Structure 1
Amino acid sequence: MRILLVEDDPDLGPAIAKALRAENCAVDLVPSGIDGAHLGDTETYDAALLDLGLPDLDGAAILKEWREAGRTLPVLILTARDGWSDKVAGFKAGADDFMTKPFRVEELVMRLRAIVRRASGHAATRIECGPLTFDSQSGQFELDGFPVRLTAFEWRVLSALILSREVVIDRLTLLERVYEGDADNDSNSLEVIIGRLRKKIGARLIETARGRGYRLTAATE
């Protein structure tokens, strides 16, 4: 998953980013509401974690602008405010979930995965594509019932492919997932990762759409 984290707390923001990266997420951490609003408008994310109490631009105002502009990415609000009126304001602005500080980062990760599953139409935690299965709650891949050992880069690419199975994902999007938004890295590295994945799960499961990108497919022919 590629996550936008808009949090100005100098301790909490990096701690959340570290926990998400340990779960193989690509994270863009920004402490500024203005910068966060811009990234949400111009980049592609699987979800956003948005602090309400930002110093330069209120989180609810950012979210309202995103929704009015048609941005549908799932958003989990983070706030030190525990009043019911603040929660109502957050949900009215278009939040998918709400967590009050302090909280356990482990719970944050689970709830983040849950809103991404719902937004992707995957209410069930297990997603299948032929012999390949992905448990989106644990993050574990299985092939014919056996666990698949993956590097962090391989996991990011394969999770993006299985969440959009049977659909071609362009190379730029996959590169951004791998390198946390920096697509200027050597594009040949994506071919290397795809090659390693094909050895681990079978070459036929990952199709190359020439000049476009890659697709995970259950088709055998």
Structure 2
Amino acid sequence: MSDRSVFVTGGNRGIGLAIARAFAEQGDRVAVSHRDGPAPEGVLGVRCDVTDAASLDAAFAEIERAHGPVDVLVANAGITHDKLAVQMTDQDFTVPLDTNLVGTFRVARRAVPGMLANRWGRMVFVSSVMGTLGSPGQANYAASKSGLIGLARSLAHELGGRGITVNVVAPGFISTDMSAGVSDRRREELISMTALRRAGTPEEVASVVRFLAGEEASYVTGGLIPVGGGLGMGS
């Protein structure tokens, strides 16, 4: 199962970078999208904005020339724009949805033709436990992340007959640059709500994503897999 064409959106840092490295370490041909900064060493970096269909087409064309059609898609690109709902404008609400949810749909739609032709494919969408748990000031983010579950399960029904699986991982409180901006009070609150009483690592998320993209998970589709140390369990 090595030497596949893998595309990780938002793969130049944090969870996305750990996922890209996990696939590269096992011999896959890995491409990552990034909007700014350099691409990580050892992978193909493509400039790409998931809110722009033309940008996505150009990125896929570059990947397909270098690595062939995408076999494994990991939709990880995401943003936050926190604000209490009473203060949130329509634009404040819709901008994260356009990246996190609609952007994932655009990427998946572009990957489908190659997977259909090969009658094999793996899609993994990176959500968040906040998508089911909810969080103050994150109505937009939580809505975008919960929407990935319905999107994945609909695609799982549509594509399963062609050997394509679609699953969702929902990380909890993970030590990344994004979580570093959380206040000490909120950090303590989240840790106290986590059964394992610690933050997770990007590598722990990456190992679950890599499992879902392998043959060991060939009968897993439409799944929502929490990687949160027990944060929000049962929600």
Which TM class, normalised by the smaller chain length? 0.3 to 0.5
The structure showing larger relative contact order (alpha-carbon pairs under 8 Å, at least 6 residues apart) is 2
- State the TM-score, normalizing by the size of structure 1: 0.40
Question: Over alpha carbons, which structure has the higher Rg?
Answer: 1
**Larger strand percent:** 1
**Larger helix percent:** 2
- State the TM-score, normalizing by the size of structure 2: 0.38
